[in-house]
Amino acid sequence: MADQADFETSAGNGGETHQHVAKAGSHGGEGHLTTNQGLRISDNQNQLKAGARGPVLLEDFVLREKIFHFDHERIPERIVHARGSAAHGFFEAYESLADITRADLFQRAGERTPVFTRFSTVAGGAGSVDTPRDVRGFAVKFYTKEGNWDLVGNNIPVFFIQDAIKFPDLIHAAKMEADRGYPQAATAHDTFWDFVGLMPESTHMIMWAMSDRTIPRTLRTIQGFGIHTFRFVNAEGRSTFVKFHWKPKQGLASTCWDEAVKIAGADPDFQRRDLFEAIDRGDYPEWELGIQAFDQKFADSLPYDVLDATKIIPEELLPVRPIGRMVLDRWPDNFFAETEQVAYCPANIVPGIDFSNDPLLQGRLFSYLDTQLKRLGSTNFHQIPINQPKQCPVMNFQRDGHMQMLQPKGRANYEPNSLAAAGETAGPRECPHTGFTSFAGRAESDEQGDKLRIRPESFADHYSQARLFFRSLDPAEQAHLASALVFELSKVGLEHVRTRVLSNLVNVDPDLARRVADGLAMPLPEASPVAAPILDLDPSPALRIIRGALDLKTLEGRSVGILIADGSDGKAVDDLTSAIGDAGGRPVIVAPKVGGAKMADGSILKADGQLAGMPSVLFDAIAVILSDEGCRSLLEEAAAVQFVMDAFVHLKAIGHSKEAQPLLDKAGVRADEGVLEIGKSFLDAAGTRHWDREPKVRTLA
Ligand code: HDD
């Protein structure tokens, strides 16, 4: 028997009808190994055999139970967003929002609500890499006192399609091609661009997807968006439309494409590791939650429809009001139990929050619940600890089903009942005052009443906001976007598909289309026909990453790789390491051998990583502290030359000792404001990328 303490029970969801829930994860304690029936195991190394060299016996139930369980360890991965990383934390409200919502989590300044947040890529399988060009999922489960609220968003504020009926087509086209099973986690292939070309409504999202937003530096440096228009509803029943925004305190930062590709090889788990390590060292990632709140009159004043998920409301037109912050401060105990089994669902809302008629959102309300049954195998998936409400009971008469964990007592399993009159437990009752009621106001759609498979006229403009996005970007970002289009379309074998996409791009911006056509060495086609006039909307600088509002110049939370070798000046390394730490950064020592290098004074300085295994793509800036002799030896080392060369072409700051200059020369480093001898100004330079270097190191479209 295992120690009794290993099998503690918790009240969990217990309420009147749900009794105790055995605590999952109780198998982690010290003690004796047992079978799942609690039988103590005497030998976990050998099967039961008939004689020392004889055949294995079918009777070996210890073996069979162990292998049976192992064989079933995998569950179906998510059809989309399969690869993800998650963390626990809290949401803290800044002030009472009682004027616009009755949602309990927004009533009191300083109130904290536990959250579980999962970030993901979309297209790749669970075992794919962290840094493909892809949208990042940003899903937050708020365990409120009134039930779980899930805000299941992305790091991009718009979506590819307007109507949920197109979702399976979109995902089929984006994922590996059906016959060949590749490419994994990549949109650079025929079927994706075929779909995109034929669905001009995806053009705005394509602009975002081809921008640096989809190659984020870390998960800590992405924005998040609820995308759809939702509603807040206050105690009087008045509705206000809201759009949700998450802004990273760490700033918004992306990689260069070449860098993202190299990170995939150097560390396929780069972003997962970064999140884990940041939380582990107490550098808790934080986001501010903000809302754009508006009424029907404001919605009616816009030249696009707020129910159309391919549209944003520019922040310059309607500022984002900060309403609280989320801090992620605890890594899950167990990846499978929590990150894999967490079941988000946009239909999980609480009183004071409600849906709009956005047809994409409406379709999602069905899909997520359905997918959980397939993945988690039972309608009782809500009883898995990560999915249970943490601050309120679950009480109802839903019963039985696969893997039912609860043991309700008594006869009451229907409502209403009058069993209380006989002294029996009657169970929970509905509550018209505190229970959730759907917002009953007049529907936004004038078409309400007729059954129609139709797209409203107000959804017809597919290009104005794509143009707005492109024209709002910094020139360096525009060049990255154009080059990404060239790269992706170069991987498309079907020429008519490339031509069709180019025709759509002409509608976005003729200059962009020309740059992409030049990059492909293809003629520029005519613009594709449009269903609505294309508007020149005012640019929105808030959409920029580079030189935008969230482009922070700081070492906080960023890493500096310090390359050393035998003969380096130990004091210079120490001084730099402390200075980086004081500035909130993370120094990482890289040496030809992981055991360390012999400093000039004879001491040994241990390395955090070996040069061949820690290329500079893993860092935000680099320093090279070498002696003459150390530098000479590294001139013959391709990994060292590449370390410096990549940092330069990825626009990172390079600090160096005088003696390291020959290595910089060999790597083709040219002097600019980001290349400095080690000193105070290097620390300033290391807090940012050096965009002005871009034209010197790459030919962009
Ligand atoms: Fe979805 C997962 C985000 C449209 C159907 N979606 C999923 C996840 C995120 C999003 C972040 C992963 C949640 C997690 O970490 O477990 N999805 C979005 C956004 C959308 C969107 C921001 C548009 C604005 N999704 C969308 C549509 C459908 C789905 C239109 C279907 C009609 N999504 C699913 C799903 C998934 C999912 C198949 C797969 C795994 C899961 O739900 O739990 O049901």
Residue 448 has pLDDT above 80, yes or no: no
Inter-residue contact 174 to 81 (CB < 8 Å): no
Whole-angstrom distance, CA of residue 149 vs CA of residue 345: 9
Quickly count: other Cβ atoms within 10 Å of residue 312's Cβ.
25
Cβ(359) – ligand 1 distance below 6 Å: no
* DSSP letter assigned to residue 216: B
Structure-token pair, residue 183: 């490419």
Nearest CA to ligand 1 atom 44: 368
Q: What is the mean pLDDT of residues 533-561?
A: 96
Whole-angstrom distance, CA of residue 170 vs CA of residue 361: 16
Residue 443 has pLDDT above 60, yes or no: no
Whole-angstrom distance, CA of residue 655 vs CA of residue 679: 8
Whole-angstrom distance, CA of residue 11 vs CA of residue 389: 12
Phi-psi region of 602 (alpha: psi -120 to 50; beta: other; left: phi over 0): left
Nearest CA to ligand 1 atom 29: 364
SS3 138: strand
Does 520 reside within a domain?
A: no
Determine the residue type at 260: A
Nearest CA to ligand 1 atom 26: 364
Whole-angstrom distance, CA of residue 175 vs CA of residue 388: 32
Residues 27-63 have pLDDT tens digits of 556 899 999 999 999 999 999 999 999 999 999 999 9
Residues 470-491 have pLDDT tens digits of 999 999 999 999 999 999 999 9
Residue 442 has pLDDT above 90, yes or no: no
Residues 486-522 have pLDDT tens digits of 999 999 999 999 999 999 999 999 999 999 999 999 9
Peptide bond into 248 cis (omega under 30): no
Does 311 reside within a domain?
A: yes
Does 258 reside within a domain?
A: yes
Mutate to test the pocket of ligand 1, among 152, 308, 384 (most ligand atoms within 8 A of CB): 152
Predicted pLDDT of residue 599: 98
**Which candidate, 481, 499, 490, 476, places its Cα nearest to that of 519?**
490
Predicted pLDDT of residue 450: 84
∠ CA 256-262-263, nearest 5°, is 85
Q: Which residues contact 413 (CB under 8 A, 6 or more apart)?
A: 397, 399, 427
Cβ(18) – ligand 1 distance below 6 Å: no
**Which candidate, 271, 154, 282, places its Cα nearest to that of 220?**
271
Nearest CA to ligand 1 atom 9: 137
Does 296 reside within a domain?
A: yes
Number of domains within the chain:
2
At which residue do the structure tokens 């195991």 appear?
A: 41
Cβ(368) – ligand 1 distance below 6 Å: yes
DSSP 612-626: GG--GGGSSEEEE--
Q: Read off the CATH number of the domain in which 692 is found.
A: 3.40.50.880
Predicted pLDDT of residue 30: 82
Predicted pLDDT of residue 589: 98
**Burial (Cβ within 10 Å: 0-12, 13-18, ≥19) of residue 151:** buried
Cβ(224) – ligand 1 distance below 6 Å: no
Q: Residue 566: pLDDT band by 50, 70, 90 thresholds?
A: very high
Q: How many residues does the chain have?
A: 701
Whole-angstrom distance, CA of residue 132 vs CA of residue 487: 13
Predicted pLDDT of residue 104: 98
Does 337 reside within a domain?
A: yes
Residues 583-639 have pLDDT tens digits of 999 999 999 999 999 999 999 999 999 999 999 999 999 999 999 999 999 999 999
Mutate to test the pocket of ligand 1, among 306, 366, 367 (most ligand atoms within 8 A of CB): 367
Does 143 reside within a domain?
A: yes
Please give the distance, rounded to the nearest whole angstrom, from the Cα atom of residue 99 to the centre of ligand 1: 31
SS3 396: coil
- Boundary of a domain, candidates 362, 387, 412: 387
Does 291 reside within a domain?
A: yes
Please give the distance, rounded to the nearest whole angstrom, from the Cα atom of residue 605 to the centre of ligand 1: 48
Q: List, as own/partner pairs, every contact residues 44-52 make where C-beta atoms lie below 8 angstroms and the sequence separation is at least 24, other chains included.
A: none
Structure-token pair, residue 205: 């999202």
Inter-residue contact 376 to 341 (CB < 8 Å): yes
Whole-angstrom distance, CA of residue 20 vs CA of residue 408: 9
**Burial (Cβ within 10 Å: 0-12, 13-18, ≥19) of residue 417:** middle
- Boundary of a domain, candidates 387, 405, 436: 387
Residue 444 has pLDDT above 70, yes or no: no
Percent share of the chain, pLDDT over 70: 95
Q: Read off the CATH number of the domain in which 286 is found.
A: 2.40.180.10
**Which candidate, 269, 273, 268, 225, places its Cα nearest to that of 245?**
225
- Boundary of a domain, candidates 321, 353, 387: 387
Catalogue the E-assigned strands of 155-271.
Answer: 224-225, 230-233, 239-248
Structure-token pair, residue 604: 């040994």
Cβ(118) – ligand 1 distance below 6 Å: yes
Determine the residue type at 528: S
Predicted pLDDT of residue 680: 82
Please give the distance, rounded to the nearest whole angstrom, from the Cα atom of residue 226 to the centre of ligand 1: 12
Predicted pLDDT of residue 277: 97
Determine the residue type at 105: L
Nearest CA to ligand 1 atom 4: 364
Cβ(175) – ligand 1 distance below 6 Å: no
Residue 456 has pLDDT above 50, yes or no: yes
Residues 248-281 have pLDDT tens digits of 999 999 999 999 999 999 999 999 999 999 999 9
Whole domain around residue 655: which residue ranges? 559-697
Mutate to test the pocket of ligand 1, among 75, 77, 79, 81 (most ligand atoms within 8 A of CB): 81
Please give the distance, rounded to the nearest whole angstrom, from the Cα atom of residue 224 to the centre of ligand 1: 14
Cβ(367) – ligand 1 distance below 6 Å: yes
Q: What is the mean pLDDT of residues 351-367?
A: 97
DSSP 56-123: BPTT-HHHHHHHHHHHT---PPPSSS-SEEEEEEEEEESS--TTT---GGGSSTT-EEEEEEEEEESS
Cβ(363) – ligand 1 distance below 6 Å: yes
Active site residues: 81, 154
pLDDT averaged over every residue in the chain: 94
Residues 662-680 have pLDDT tens digits of 999 999 999 999 999 998 8
Annotate 35-71 with b (16+ C-beta within 10 A) or e (fewer).
eeeeeeeeeeeeeeeeeeeeeeeeeeebeeebeeeee
Please give the distance, rounded to the nearest whole angstrom, from the Cα atom of residue 80 to the centre of ligand 1: 7
Mutate to test the pocket of ligand 1, among 75, 78, 172 (most ligand atoms within 8 A of CB): 78
Whole-angstrom distance, CA of residue 688 vs CA of residue 698: 19
Cβ(583) – ligand 1 distance below 6 Å: no
Cβ(427) – ligand 1 distance below 6 Å: no
Q: Residue 212: pLDDT band by 50, 70, 90 thresholds?
A: very high
At which residue do the structure tokens 């060299």 appear?
A: 53
Predicted pLDDT of residue 449: 75
Does 111 reside within a domain?
A: yes
* DSSP letter assigned to residue 487: H
Inter-residue contact 428 to 17 (CB < 8 Å): yes
Across-strand partners of 151?
Answer: 140
More reliable by pLDDT, 400 or 440: 400
Structure-token pair, residue 603: 């001491």
Predicted pLDDT of residue 19: 36
∠ CA 464-466-471, nearest 5°, is 95
